Structure 1
């Protein structure tokens, strides 16, 4: 059990982790850190945290585990500000969707505390944010990827792994670079495509008519375009190289399909669509 947990940033992910640990009995006290006064009030009113601070030093005092649940662009500054307030041996982790940039920032700012920083990323979420979006079952039966560092002590990794298992998640360990490459294709690119499609259709005009005639497939595909634009700006820029590489490959794939349509190449269209259907059906039942 974690005696005192400090969560920096009480939104969907940080708030859901707090609720899940409370429900599972995996934590004693949860202290939140939020600079936004409205979020502080909501987090307390919803029972997400036991105490919430606007002072980082006060929030970190005597914490056994600290979770950074803030946007990627805020990570480095927060690492720098918290370094002097951490007691040596406090386990620190994060929930960022990109790992290489977070690891670089942590190594630059945490000093000796880098030994106890275990990067992580829960593969779970929703398009809504804020404390009111938090739910205790968000991580149940979902994957959490840890990317331990060469500097890590085994006990720190064990604590973070146990925390996520406590809330029903399946924990996987890999390297930060491999994580970023895989997530560029399975998460970051799909979000960019959803934003791009909805923006394209919006710019065509007659937005109301377009959405009126949209079926369930469009709703499902475009769902991620409801995500926080600032969060996804940060993700795109933090994972720039893997994402740009995939965007180039996707552009080439679209060109192949465009050529097949232009020249009425029925066989090529069936080949591409069949290959994609087989790959998708092999991994998902619906």
Structure 2
């Protein structure tokens, strides 16, 4: 499978890495890059992320076979409203947003309904770095990409997007937008909320200099994602607010159980929680992380 012309709207870590990956795999012949920041467009061209630099959304999408939207989720509707009239009728539109219900709502609001050739997508990959300069072709190798087909989905468009993500090295799966948001609220959005909150809390303490100076590997590992883009994660948290609140309330309930056990010096209860958590994480490593790592080149 080969796509003649791919337009990437938003040249950050994800958009840039996708462009690199599919070009390296030979899955696309031409990548047109556009970003609201002209410096990013220039950098993408210089780094070889894009083969063509577009000065406007119209220039970027008017001849594109596939348009990948890689912008903060709360900017989706605004960007789509600006480019919708320039899309070819047969163009495939897809995205990489970390929330899917809000994106579907935005797409439907702009087009009047979900277009058959719109394919919602979310690569479950990334790191705490941002910008096109941080992009690399191997980012998606062995990582899952979730596609969220809808009721009016064109099968050919879905197959094309699936093929591109597989060419990028992703393990592609499908689920509804609603289920995606519930799952990702627990496994991705909540951990970021906790990391940001923990570091912010520690920074309020009088002993913060000593705390940060003597922090060990556990602190570094747990808080790594607090170095992620605050603006991006503000958007994700707001866009998936209901599901994030549900996950956060569940976590707070678990914290209260643990606090009660510590207050009562209930050793068996503390041990039970820790053991159950350790065993669950080991099962996760055996089922997901280790097989995925083995598939990387």
Q: TM-score, normalised by structure 2?
A: 0.94
Distance 2:207 2:34 in 1: 44
Aligned to 2:278: 277
Q: CA deviation at 1:111?
A: 4.1
Q: CA deviation at 1:112?
A: 6.8
Equivalent position SS for 1:28: strand
Name stretches of at least 5 consecutive residues in structure 1 with no aligned partner.
none
Runs of 4+ aligned residues of structure 1 deviating over 3 Å after TM superposition are none
Aligned to 2:162: 161
Q: Are the counterparts in 2 of residues 257 and 269 from structure 1 also a CA contact under 8 Å?
A: yes
Equivalent position SS for 1:114: coil
Aligned to 2:104: 103
Q: Cα distance 1:113–1:200, how it changes in 2: closer, same or farther (>3 A)?
A: closer
Q: Are the counterparts in 2 of residues 88 and 113 from structure 1 also a CA contact under 8 Å?
A: no
Name stretches of at least 5 consecutive residues in structure 2 with no aligned partner.
291-297
Distance 2:130 2:257 in 1: 38
Query: What do the CA deviations read for 1:182-233 (whole angstroms, capped 9, x no partner)?
Result: 0001000000000011001001133331112111111000000000000000
> In the TM superposition, what are the counterparts of 1:238-277 in structure 2 within 5 Å?
238-277=239-278
Q: Are the counterparts in 2 of residues 44 and 51 from structure 1 also a CA contact under 8 Å?
A: yes
Distance 1:26 1:191 in 2: 33
Distance 1:79 1:14 in 2: 16
Equivalent position SS for 1:89: coil
Q: Cα distance 1:113–1:81, how it changes in 2: closer, same or farther (>3 A)?
A: farther
Aligned to 2:211: 210
Q: Cα distance 1:113–1:267, how it changes in 2: closer, same or farther (>3 A)?
A: closer
Aligned to 2:182: 181
Query: What do the CA deviations read for 1:235-258 (whole angstroms, capped 9, x no partner)?
Result: 101111111011111111111111
Distance 2:27 2:147 in 1: 19
Q: TM-score, normalised by structure 1?
A: 0.97
Distance 1:156 1:236 in 2: 29
Residue range with higher mean Cα deviation, 165-174 or 202-211: 202-211
Distance 2:169 2:264 in 1: 51
Q: CA deviation at 1:25?
A: 0.8
Q: CA deviation at 1:113?
A: 7.1
Q: Are the counterparts in 1 of residues 119 and 153 from structure 2 also a CA contact under 8 Å?
A: yes
Equivalent position SS for 2:8: strand
Equivalent position SS for 1:283: helix
Distance 1:271 1:3 in 2: 56
RMSD of Structure 2 on Structure 1 (CA): 1.2
Q: CA deviation at 1:110?
A: 2.3
Q: Are the counterparts in 2 of residues 83 and 111 from structure 1 also a CA contact under 8 Å?
A: no
Aligned to 1:5: 6
Aligned residues: 286
Distance 1:16 1:106 in 2: 24
